Amino acid sequence: MDLLQERADVNLMMLGITYPGPGIVIGLSEDGKTLIQVCWIMGQDDNGQNRVFVKNADGDLHTAAADPSEVTDHSPIVYRAMAEEGSLFVVTNGAQTESIIRSLRSFGGALGEYQYKPDDPNFTPRISAQIILKTGGTYSVQMSVLRRSPFDDECERSLFSFESLPPGFGHLISTYSGDGDPLPPFTGGPLLLPVIGDTAEQIGAFFRDNLVPDNFVSLAVKTIDVITGESLIHIINRHRQVGT
């Protein structure tokens, strides 16, 4: 086993923890022809569980209430999770998607107006990632975690950039590193994970099978052709949306 695979096998165990919270993976297919964006949402209470991923008429991925009549607070659960504009592909766990898309590539600048989420006592980290396609099948990847400082109320801003990805692997950022009260935030840099499967459906099943089922809510996989930019979204929802 080479070092890359060994690192990925170790880090894959994070998905088996009780509560990793929402997560984002940016990866590359084994043949190097397809970029992968994976995101999932988890929930510990009824409001957090009452969600689905939906692909709207604009082609972007949104969260929505599975049963609108049961929603107690819309603000933390409804947002645009995946969006694209030309050669820019964005995925986040909150309202910052809109600012990143508007910024058209100024990733750090777009996130400057945001901090961690104000959900005391957890202060959920705000996680974001973008892919920019370039000519000739090249690309760049930026990922960010905005978390509350363990010392005070200041926001710690971690940004990570990659000019290439290893084929068959991906980088994970998440919101939490386990269960607890309050929930412990994700720390450190992106974790290396394998990306198993040739299609969005197979990749989705791989990640779904590695997430603890009790808190799982929804998962989405977007595949992006590195040459044409053509994209496809596959969705796995735990719950069915009322009326569909």
SS3 of residue 162 by DSSP: strand
Asked if pLDDT for residue 82 goes beyond 90, the answer is: yes
Q: How confident is the model at residue 1 (pLDDT cuts 50, 70, 90)?
A: low
Q: Domain for residue 243, yes or no?
A: no
Residue ranges of alpha helices (H) inside the chain are: 3-12, 46-49, 96-103, 107-111, 200-209
pLDDT of 113 higher than 70? yes
By residue range, what is the domain housing residue 233?
3-237
pLDDT at position 73 is 72
Q: Is residue 242 part of a domain?
A: no
Average pLDDT over residues 123-133: 97
pLDDT class of 146 with cuts at 50, 70, 90: very high
Does some domain include residue 244?
A: no
Whether omega before 150 lies within 30 degrees of 0, making that bond cis, reads: no
pLDDT band at 106 (very low <50, low <70, confident <90, very high): confident
Q: Are 20 and 175 in contact (CB under 8 A)?
A: yes
Q: In CATH, what number is assigned to the domain containing residue 221?
A: 3.60.20.20
Report pLDDT digits (tens) over 6-38. 889 889 988 988 899 999 999 999 999 999 999
Please enumerate in sequence order all residues whose Cβ is within 8 A of that of 216, keeping only pairs 6 or more positions apart, or say none: 40, 42, 208, 238
| Residue whose C-alpha is closest to residue 175's, from 36, 13, 27, 41 | 41
pLDDT at 180 over 60: yes
**Could you give the number of structural domains in the chain?**
1
Phi first, then psi: what are they for 37, rounded to 5°?
-115, 125
Does residue 85 sit within a domain? yes
The answer to the question of residue 114 being in a domain is: yes
Asked whether residue 30 is domain-assigned, the answer is: yes
pTM above 0.85, yes or no: yes
- Give percent above pLDDT 70 in the chain: 98
Q: What is the pLDDT of residue 74?
A: 64
